[in-house]
Amino acid sequence: MIPFSETHPLLAGIVLLIAGGEALVRGAANLARQLGISSLVVGLTVVAFATSAPELAVNVSAAIRGNGAVAFGNRIEAMLLLLGYVAYVLTRSVWRTRKRRVPPAGA
> DSSP code of 102?
S
pLDDT digits (tens, 9 = 90+) for 35-51: 888 877 887 787 778 77
SS3 70: helix
Domain that holds residue 16: 8-101
CA–CA distance, 13 with 84 (Å, rounded to integer): 30
- Alpha helices (runs of H) in the chain, residue ranges in sequence order: 4-35, 39-64, 68-101
Residue 106 maps to a domain: no
Tell me, yes or no, whether 61 lies in a domain.
Answer: yes
CA angle 102, 106, 107 (to 5 degrees): 65
- Angle (CA) 62-64-80 rounded to 5° is 30
Q: Quick check: is 2 in a domain? A: no
As for how many domains the chain has, the answer is 1
Q: Which residue has the higher pLDDT, 19 or 104?
A: 19
Q: What is the pLDDT of residues 48-105, one digit of tens each?
A: 787 778 878 888 888 888 887 877 777 777 778 878 888 888 787 766 666 656 566 6
For residues 59 and 68, the answer to whether their CB atoms sit within 8 Å is no
Instruction: Give the 3-state secondary structure of residue 65.
Output: coil
